A = this chain, B = another copy of it.
Amino acid sequence: MSASEYRCPVYTTASLSPAKRAELLVRPVKASSDILALVEPILASVRNDGDEGLRGCVVKFDRCTPAQDKAFPLVLEAPFADELAQIQPEVKEAIDVAYSNIKTFHSAQMVRESEPIRVETMPGVVCQRFARPIGSVGLYVTALMLGVPAQVAGCKNITLATPPRPDGSISPEIIYIAKLVGAQRVVRAGGAHAIAAMAYGTESVPKADKLYGPGNQFVTAAKMMVAMDSGAQVAIDVPAGPSEVLVIADKTADPALVASDLLGQQEHGLDSQSVLVTIDCDDSYVEAVNAAVAEQARALPRAEILRKSLSQSFILQTRSVEEAFAFSNDYAPEHLLLYLENASSTIELVENAGCGDYASGTNHTLPTVGYAKQYSGVSTSSFLKHFTSQELSPAGLKGLGPYVERLADVEMLGAHKASVSLRLAKIEREGL
């Protein structure tokens, strides 16, 4: 296998046509109508046949033969036995550190979220805004990054779905995390059928109000479809697609480190895309990155995946910070890495990006394929809903009521107007 197979194509903004620029902004994702057609019968099977449909899918798609036996429980309920969660001490320590960091960061956000907002907009007109945890949430696979914000937000009913191993067991790391975040149960299923079970509910899986977590294209299609189904009454976190990273680097960046991050993203799968945007770097710098990519790739276990996915990644050479961030904001990457002499001063230029990370504390469940333009990553907000209230004193109603009457007139809403007029008359009559 030649080194040149591990290589990202190189473009420069100086010679980039608007059409080619637009093309580079589009992700290498496959068309989805055939995926929807494959997912629809899976959803129908679980929706119509409940546990029986789910069990069939677990046998077929998760290749879990023990699930053929009707005595095989599809769901493990808390409290989970300690022997299911026995892990290496050093792995336990690493999970504990990640858990603690994620909890610290999300708790700081929750302090702000949980405090009601109270404003007296006019004398006697008091408006408030409150947060409440979403009651029943369904987490797909990503246990730590979804479980911690759910726990911090105060969700009472946390279901985690994760594919079983061929022998039907669940990895002890997952059970350990499920215990940490206070999950009520672990559903032994992956894929579209796991999404269906949590969206519609079955005999053993309670229906969730909202679903979270990235997955492959079948999982993503299933999430979109249940979110569209008003019969399911379920929300989803973000439309998730293949993982992606955009690195902005100037010549102070170590080519070997840049290369390692481009490769780190690629190992998520064939659809993953890594983009490097260089600022004022010459061709020899770009060649140094590509050489480091080739060298590191050959040493990695998933070399075949890397070779294919690198060909759909690319390097773009730009001449200025402005040009680089303009491209990055239009691309709206899931993960954005800044290798710049003065990175923190450029945060102001970031308009669209997911960012996020592994264990530092921030969340890495993020919008992909450009959805960072309109979606946020998962946070405690994702596990809360807000509502507002207003209380009007008689004085408040006397002040505001006449304006509401006029607005109702303009919109020709007679009953709305009458509702206010009746109250104003009562206040008048009773001398309030």
Contact = CB atoms under 8 A, between A and B. Distances in A.
Interface residues of A, number: 111
A233 B264 CA distance: 26
A344 interface: yes
Contacts of A202: none
A269 to B, nearest CB: 11
A257 B422 contact: yes
A374 B212 CA distance: 12
Interface string A108-144: 1100100001010110010101101011000000000
A375 B121 contact: no
Interface in A325-347: 343-344, 347
Contact of A374 (B127, B385, B392, B423): B385
Interface string A340-383: 00011001001111111111111100000111111111010100
A427 B101 CA distance: 22
B374 A390 contact: no
B230 A369 contact: yes
A105 B90 contact: no
Nearest to A384: B376
A423 B407 CA distance: 63
Contact of A264 (B112, B385, B415): B415
Contacts of A323: none
A35 to B, nearest CB: 11
Nearest to A220: B230
B392 A388 contact: no
Interface stretch (A7-15, A275-283, A295-303): A295-303
A407 B94 contact: yes
A135 to B, nearest CB: 6
A121 B94 contact: no
A375 B418 contact: no
A333 to B, nearest CB: 10
A375 B379 contact: no
Given A121-B105, A300-B418, A302-B415, A344 B391 contact: yes
Interface stretch (A67-75, A161-169, A179-187, A398-406): A398-406
A118 to B, nearest CB: 8
Given A300-B415, A373-B135, A387-B377, A93 B358 contact: no
Nearest to A297: B415
Contact of A415 (B209, B234, B266, B392): B266
A423 to B, nearest CB: 6
B101 A359 contact: no
A356 B130 CA distance: 12
Interface of A: 29, 32, 90-91, 93-95, 97-98, 100-101, 104-105, 108-109, 112, 117, 119, 121-122, 125, 127, 129-130, 132, 134-135, 173, 209-210, 224-225, 227-228, 230, 233-235, 239, 241, 254, 256-257, 260-261, 263-264, 266-267, 296, 299-302, 306, 343-344, 347, 350-363, 369-377, 379, 381, 384-392, 400, 402-404, 406-410, 412-416, 418-419, 422-423, 426
In the A-B complex, the 9 residue pairs with the closest CB atoms: A121-B361, A362-B388, A94-B406, A260-B419, A94-B403, A376-B386, A235-B374, A101-B121, A263-B415
Given A108-B117, A261-B419, 18 more contacts: A91-B407, A94-B403, A100-B121, A101-B125, A105-B119, A108-B119, A121-B360, A135-B351, A209-B373, A224-B228, A227-B227, A267-B414, A296-B415, A302-B414, A306-B415, A358-B407, A359-B407, A375-B385
8 contacts: A94-B407, A227-B227, A233-B369, A267-B413, A306-B415, A352-B385, A360-B390, A362-B388
